Structures are given as structure tokens and as C-alpha cells.
Amino acid sequence: MDSKKTMPVLIFAVVLVALQVATSLSGRDYYLTQLTMSLYTCLLISGLCLVMGYAGQLSLGHAGFFAIGGYTSATLTTLNLTSALEGGNGLVVLLAKLGLLVSGTSLFGEELLYVQPWLAFVLAIVITTVVAFLVGIPVLKLKGHYLAMATLGFGIIIYRVVLAVEIFGEADGISDVPGFTLLPGLTINGEMDNRVINYYIAAGVLFLGVLLLQNLIYSRVGRALRAIHGAEDAANAMGINTSRYKLYTFVISAIFAAVAGVMMTHYNGGIAPADAGVMKSVRYVAIVAIGGMASLWGALSMGAVLTFLSLRGMFGSYDDAVFGVILITIMLFAPHGILQLPFWRKFKKSAKDE
Amino acid sequence: MALLEVTQLSKRFGGLHAVNDVSFTVQEGTIKAVIGPNGAGKTTLFNLISGTLAANEGMVEFRGQAIHGLKPFQIARAGMARTFQNIKMFPGMTALENVMVGLHPRSVAGFWAGMLNLPSTWTEEKRIKEQAMDLLALLEIEQFAHVEAASLAFGQQRAVEFARALASEPRLLLLDEPAAGLNIYETAEVARLITKIQGRGITVLLVEHDMSLVMDISDEIVVLSFGERIAEGTPREIQNNKDVIQIYLGE
Amino acid sequence: MPLELFSQYLFAGITYGIIYAIVAIGFNIIYNTTGIINFAQGEFVMLGGMISISLNSLMPLPLAIVCAVFITMLFGGLLEIVFIRWLESPSVLRMIIITIGLSIVIREVALHIWGDGVRALPYFTGNVVSSVQILGASISPQVLWALAVCSIMVLMLSLFFKFTSLGREMQACASNRLAATLCGINARNMVTFSFMLSAAIGAVAGCVVSPITSTQYDMGTGLAIKGFTVAVLGGLGNSMAAVAAGLLLGIIEAFSVGVGFPLVFQDAIAISILLVILFVRPHGLFGNKEAAGLKEF
């Protein structure tokens, strides 16, 4: 096997486990909550890294896809269908017969009947895929500033929709989202005694996603994507359907964002309009840029560290400003990411020489 | 039947007739050159044939099929490969990887196969790599396989670009000023490579500035001036054509 | 729709439209000299408003506005000198990210200085309730102020670019930077001037509309996207067309509210127009396709 390709994946798995062990040994289990959320964010970031770094397209609307995933799942799993079933609504009755509804009780002891999270998950992904295609086909014909503004515009529209539509909870968002039972015994929720399991669910999902992307990057398609990024017209002249490849990459990254959205929403038990905000999209772009655009590992490590620090409140009320400053500084002094700074290169080189 | 048939092709940029009513054919197995002074519309003509630009009027038929209006990648898949005047190596990729990209139309692994790392892709990758190495060997640059292509000398980059274009197993190879930026030794080397490519049964259409290269290797020459075809014939005929002498030497 | 209501919406539309046009012209001035879209353009409008509001407690209104415009102008020049000037042929992506970063930082700093409340300058003449009768509608005199100031500014800008040597030098840089440099024009200084100029006109707009639309720390993003829509609608780089496009967008928005289109989706109108224009006519309603094709993107 190619060690250049497999070693980072192995190291990645070890790091994921080591993080949990370290928190447990140091008695800081409470870090796991933010770590888990950081890992889901990393899932989105890894997809965005594929779009920005490998297909060379800027997307300022990825929080929109995160929101489409999260809101779809949250809406479907919080909609109480008890009365609809009694009322004989055809679709609801059919779903009930197929065993696609789950019953439960609310905090106030009210009887609940809602869509099985797996079905909601599948629907969320289907909707995201459709939207990503519809948006991607026209948008990806654009370049430079036009592409940036068009994706930003898409992001703002999604934000406006979730803020204005009653079923999405308007400014409050959606809360009391039930857990998502992947398999018996494996449930995504925010319960305290479920913390370690949830960390490993997030780690597992992220690992799987990264593995798929890593495979893709080292495949025929990945080579074509790098060619597109480097010299698009030459790639097209080599027989590569450049617009289709860019589109598929965009859709894949949108799906990654939506999966992150669904899982994070069930983990947090809710989702709010801020999750769809433009600042979130900018933040994701910042992280990928800091990691070095075409560096999956750079983006992942920066994503984990910065998201974790931000969630721990390290940046205080200057949270957004910190990301702005980081963005400017990196683009001014290290446009290829901080792992490409002379200091690191020297370090890497000396490590290689030994 | 001719391999490539260009009929009354025209392209205007605003009021400028970059290519005006140009027709010619390229016979299978030959080397044909398009020459003309700077600004004669040679590169525009090339971009029209390879689909980079859309023509205002006219037709391009390749292997008996109309290809005007198709995208560059579709034309490439139909069996027409091209190189670029200012050598467009894929940055950050080795010479070998550049040629492997050229094999894109001759391989199939898609997004799913790539993401899942299916066993079928392993054998395909192995084949792609071997074929790319063979092509580098054909162009006598296999020793640079693992060097970043963009860091090679200009002449070597040109050879990598030839290998990359040949990788799709084209019937027709379009060369856009293959001697641009090369010294006389490198130009002679490129001329030798072009005849070697022709020897493998590949038809070549080239745009060139360097008269010596064109006269040595071409079977037929088309001369453009201000977007119009002013002469067509064998190198000897062109050398003795009054109009051609006039546009090259002036009044 | 009765005439009174009609002219009410019309004037509201024109007021907003002219602001969008000013932001679009700000985009164009910088785009013409550098090929950059300055995503922090909307922040200049916010800064103009905020600084004049703060200064107004220390000095009379006209002086406060003049100082605010001057300060914003210097700030615009400073941004260029510190963040843009010394970069060697930066990529478009890099410039987009830098100006987005700047807009975020400016916004966050503004939040810490002025808080997240809504502020406003006092009316230049009269007060909230004073009005002028035009076409049967009661129009606030401030609307007329905004229209007058912005129209004069647009006029002066076009005179500036046509008849002053500095303006012509900036135009020269726009059409061919290398040739301009060879003629002895300092292209880098022209870029700094273009930032100062677009900051200044943004600040003027920010001051005159503050009494009507209020000023808030996060107003920049919305203005930027609408200004960009207008700039694209008119064809990037074409400032006179931007005025027409700005008025068009402002009036469409105003009448969409008039026919009962939900207010929360008002932003979506501009964005939808932007997306449609980008897909259908990226060279703008008034632009020339071939000319746009010769530009970088």
C-alpha cells in the first residue's frame, strides 16, 4: 500500500482516540461536548476543503447547506403527528404502517409521534442534493467575485428563509429535537452519560468522511480536480468535463455540510438561524484558508483547534473579529496556509532528513 | 475523405475580423502547418477548431462529423488533442501525473469508485501509470517522470506536453506554436519529435511562427494574413508564392 | 394605487436606490483601478454615519459631517496602504478573502465602539414630522436632502473623472495600467486615491441617509450585496449605468413592499436579481458582452 496515502489516515485515527483518552485521564470530560461539536464542524470543513482547495471554487454559502440539513431533520422530528394520524391523514397513516414514525413523550408528558430520524436524515440529504444541483449548475459557471457574491447571496436567502418562516421557528429556531438512534444503543443526543459514545459517533462519522475524501483525492477524479484547479482550460482540453466535475464536487461538499447539520442538530437538540448565518460561512472559509486550501489535514487540524477554542469562549465577545483578523493575517502573510510558512517547511525538511 | 475539414470559418471580436471565411482540409497522416505574421488569426483559428472559442459562422468537420459548437472536452474525446502556445503544465504535479491526466478519456473510474477505493480502480490506476511512463519514454523524458513538471526546462516541458496530448490516443494533434520560446537546438529536437509522432500514424496540424521548422517538416502549408487565407500548398510552392513573400518581407 | 401612495413608494424607492448607486459607484471606482471588488464597501457607509453621529455631540452638524467624511476618507486610504498596496499581484481569491476579513473586523470594532443599537443623525432641516408636498405625497425634507446631495455627488464625480488631471490619471490606470505607468502616472497612488474616494462618497451617503434609515453596526453587508447587485446590473465599472440600476432596484424594492411582498424577504429580491443577472447577462443590463469577455472574469 501507498504509505503517503495511508499513514495520515492512521495517524488521524490515533489522534481522534488520543483526544478522548486525554480528556478522560485529565478529568476534563466536559471538554468532550465542544470536541464533539468541533468534529462535526470538521466534517463540513473537509467537504469545503475539497471544493476550495481541489476544485478551486470559493463558496460563501456552506452554512446554508448545513442549515438545510439541520432544519429539515429538526422540523420533521419535532412535528407532532399524533392528531394527523387520528385524523386519518393518508401520508401519515402510510408512514405509520411502514413503521417510519416514532412515538415518545414531551417534557410535559404530552404524547408525541414524529418522523423516524433515519427517514428525516435521508430526506435532508435528498433535499440538500437537489438544492445543491439547482444552485450549483448556474453558480459554478461563474468565477472570481461573481462566484463569491452568488454563493453569498444563496447563503443570505437561506438565512432569511429560516428567519422568516414560522415552521422553522423564526428567530428562536427549533428546539427539543429528539435524539437520533443510529443503531440500538448508539444514539446521537446531548445527554451527559452519553458523552463518550457521542464523541466516538462524531469521530467515526468524521473518520469515514475523511477516508472517502482522501480516497477521492488520490484517485483519477482527484487528479482531474487538481488539474482543473491548476489550469482549467488545459484540463478541459484533456477531455475532462470540467463543469461536471466542479458540480459534483460542490454537491458532495454540500452533502457533507448537510450530514454535519443533521448530526449536530440532534446532538445539540436544536438549531437556530445563526447556524445559517453568513458569518458562519465566512468562518468555514477562513478555516480552510488557514489550513492551506488544498490541505485536507491542515484544514482539519485548524478546524478542530479554532472551533474548539471558539466554543470554549476563548475569544470572548471578539469571536467574529478573531476570525476576521486571522483571515486577513493569513491571506496577507501566508496565502498558502500556515503549514506552508518557512518555519514549518524547515521543520518538515529537517524531520525528513533525519 | 479528409480527417479535418474547415469550411468558411469566421470569428469577429467587435468590429475586428480575427478569422474571416477560412477554409482548408487536413488529410490523414500528414503534417499541415498554419503560418502567418503576428495577429494573422492563427491562434484564434486554433481555438475555434478545438472548441475554446465559438465561431460566428462556418463549419468544422472532424472524421466526417460536425464538431463546431462542441465543448473542448467533447472534441478532445472525439480524438483531437492539443497543446498550448504558453505550455500549460498543471502546477504542483509531476511530469508523470501530467501525462496521467492526459489519459483521462482512456479511463473510467468516477466519483463513487474513487471515494470507495474500489479494487477495479487499482488495476486501472496501474495501467494509467504504465501507459504514462511509456509515453514519457517515447518522448525520451522518462528520467523526469517524478520531477514537478513546471520546474523543468522549457524544451522538456514541451515534450511533457506532447506526451500529455498523445495520452488520449488522438487521431489529430493540434500544436500551437510548438517552438515558441525554444532555442534553435530545442526547436530541432521538437521537429524530430513531431516527425516521430507522425510516424506513429498521428495526423498533425500546427500553428507556427518559426519558418525553418515549418518548411522542414510540413507536407502542406496554409498561410493566413489579417484573418484571411491567402495561400495554400506545399512548402516549395509557398516559398515561391509572391503574396506570401510580400506579407513576410513587406512592400 | 392612488397617486399619493404611488409617489410615496416612488420617493422611498429613489432614496434607497440612490444609496445603492453610491455603494455601486464605490465598488466601481476601486474595481476600475485595481480589478478588486472591495467587500468592505458597505462598511464605509456605516462608518460615515456612525462617526458623524458621535462628532455631532461635540460640534455643529455640518462640521461633524465634513469631519466624518474626511476621517472615513483617510481610513479608506489607510486600509489600502496597510493591507493592499504592498501585495505583489495577489490572486482574486486572496483579495476577496482579505476584503471580507476587513469588513468583518470593521463591523466588530464598530460593534464594540457604538454597540448594537440603532442610531441616527438629526434631520438636516425640520424634524421627523415636517414634510413637503410633492405629487400629492408628504415627503420628508431629508429625502430631498439625500437626493440632492447624492445627485450632486454623482455629477461632480463624472466631472472629476472627465476634467481634472487626477481624475483622468485614474481613468488612465483603469484602461491600461502599464501604459499609464509608462506615462509617469504613479499607479499605486491612484489605487490609494481610489480607496479614499470611494470611502469618502460612501461616508457622505452614510451621513445623508442616517436620519431616514438609521445607522447600525451591521448595515454594511446588506448594502454591499445590494450595491454589488446594482454594480453588476449596470455592468461592472460603469458608474453612470449604476445610477440607473440603483434607482431601478430601489424602486422595485419599494413597490414590492407596496404590493404586500413580505418585508423579511426584501433582501431576497436583490439577491434573486443578482443571481438571475449573473446567470443570464453577467456583463450587465447596459454592458457590452465582448468588452466583458476581455476582462479577467
| Contact call for B72 and A241, based on CB within 8 A | no
| Model confidence at B48: pLDDT above 80 | yes
Q: Which fold, B1-79+201-251?
A: Rossmann fold (3.40.50)
* Cell matching residue B127: 495501467
Distance CA B95, CA B175 (A): 19
Assembly ipTM: 0.89
What HEC string does chain A produce? CCHHHHHHHHHHHHHHHHHHHHHHHCCCCCHHHHHHHHHHHHHHHHHHHHHHHHCCCCCCCHHHHHHHHHHHHHHHHHCCCHHHHHCCCHHHHHHHHCCCEEEEECCCCCEEEEECHHHHHHHHHHHHHHHHHHHHHHHCCCCHHHHHHHHHHHHHHHHHHHHHCHHHCHHHCECCCCCEEEECCEEECCCHHHHHHHHHHHHHHHHHHHHHHHHHHCCHHHHHHHHHHHCHHHHHHCCCCHHHHHHHHHHHHHHHHHHHHHHHHHHHCCECHHHHCHHHHHHHHHHHHHHCCCCHHHHHHHHHHHHHHHHCCCCHHHHHHHHHHHHHHHHHHCCCCHHHCHHHHHHHHHHHHC
Distance CA A163, CA C291 (A): 40
Residue of A nearest to C281 (CA): A142
Q: Is A137 exposed, middle or buried (0-12, 13-18, 19+ CB in 10 A)?
A: middle
| Model confidence at C295: pLDDT above 60 | no
Nearest CA distance, C148 vs chain A (angstrom): 31
| Contact call for A240 and B73, based on CB within 8 A | yes
Kindly state the average pLDDT of the residues A16-22.
90
Q: What is the pLDDT of residue C287?
A: 57
| Model confidence at A349: pLDDT above 60 | no
Q: What is the pLDDT of residue A342?
A: 57
Which residues, 6+ apart, have CB-to-CB distance to A59 below 8 Å?
A: A48, A51, A52, A151, A250, A253, A281, A285
Q: What is the pLDDT of residue C159?
A: 87
Q: What is the pLDDT of residue A192?
A: 82
Subunits with 3+ Cβ pairs within 8 Å of A are B, C
Residue of A nearest to C83 (CA): A332
Distance CA A159, CA A143 (A): 23
- Domain ranges across chain B: 1-79+201-251
Residue ranges of domains in chain C, CATH in brackets: 3-294 (1.10.3470)
| Residues of chain C contacting A340 with CB distance shorter than 8 Å | none
* Cell matching residue B16: 475586428
| Residues of chain C contacting A60 with CB distance shorter than 8 Å | 100
Local confidence band at B17 (pLDDT 50, 70, 90 cut-offs): confident
**A43, A249, B181, C162 from A213: Cα distances, Å:** 11, 10, 40, 55
> What predicted TM-score, i.e. pTM, was given to this entire model?
0.88
Residue of A nearest to C96 (CA): A145
Q: Is A316 an 8 Å CB contact of chain C?
A: no
Nearest CA distance, A173 vs chain C (angstrom): 16
| Contact call for A216 and B128, based on CB within 8 A | no
A106-118 confidence digits (pLDDT tens):
777 778 888 899 9
Q: Which of B90, B113, B124 sits opposite A231 (nearest CB)?
A: B90
Range of weakest confidence among A37-51, B90-104, C154-168: C154-168
Q: What is the pLDDT of residue B227?
A: 87
| Residues of chain A contacting B110 with CB distance shorter than 8 Å | 221
Nearest CA distance, A208 vs chain C (angstrom): 30
Q: Which amino acid is residue C73, in one-letter code?
A: M
**A60, A286, A314, B33 from A305: Cα distances, Å:** 21, 13, 11, 59
| Contact call for A289 and C97, based on CB within 8 A | yes
| Residues of chain A contacting B88 with CB distance shorter than 8 Å | 231, 233-234
Residue of A nearest to C274 (CA): A150
Q: Which of A141, A318, A328 sits opposite C102 (nearest CB)?
A: A328
Nearest CA distance, B216 vs chain A (angstrom): 28
Task: Count CB pairs under 8 A between chains A and B.
Answer: 94
- Give yes or no for a contact between B19 and B57, defined as CB atoms under 8 angstroms apart: no
Range of weakest confidence among A30-39, A317-326, B162-171: A317-326
Sign for the pseudo-dihedral over CA of A66, A335, A327, C75: negative
Distance CA B224, CA B204 (A): 18
Name residue, grid cell 459557471: A141
Local confidence band at A240 (pLDDT 50, 70, 90 cut-offs): very high
| Residues of chain A contacting B116 with CB distance shorter than 8 Å | 212, 215
| Contact call for B164 and A238, based on CB within 8 A | yes
Q: Which helix (H) or strand (E) holds B33?
A: strand B31-35
